[in-house]
Structure 1
Amino acid sequence: MDGLLIFAGLFSGVITTFIIDSYKTLNPDSGSQTVVLLSQTVALLGQISLQLANMNNGTAMVDALPPAAAFSPPASSLVCN
């Protein structure tokens, strides 16, 4: 019985270590989020400048902003956690 308790404790410790390490992969990368936000800002500023330039002509150009990529964690992280 004591061997089973020791094995369960060691197993729990090892699994906890792996879960703590793989928990970081469940969050989106802040660098890629910054790139997406900056590209949306540049696109929005481009649209504003085009609309201001075309304001004198009486035509309005409306372009859609580039969509933000939806984050989905890797399947291995989902299985592990």
Structure 2
Amino acid sequence: MTYTPRTCPGPGDLWQPSWQEEKREEEYEKLVEKFFEEYIPRYCDERINQLAEAGEDERHPEIELIFDEYLEENEWQ
């Protein structure tokens, strides 16, 4: 992720994401939430449901493949 300063940075200033990057992050988080709340219970097998209920996220190897397909279906780039 590329970070750009909101103001001219000085020593010790933190870099902030641009408003576009913040918006993109919000959209991604909404997709993740929808994936776990709607998609997994409806379309995935019992093993994936158990992993999700156990607190595994979209980076778990078994969930990641399904999540990547989900992102493609939702035209995430």
The TM-score range, normalised by the shorter chain, is 0.3 to 0.5
- Greater fraction of residues in helix: 1
TM-score normalised by length of structure 2? 0.35
TM-score normalised by length of structure 1? 0.33
Which fold has the larger relative contact order, with Cα–Cα distance below 8 Å and residues 6 or more apart in sequence? 1
Larger Cα Rg: Structure 1 or Structure 2? 1
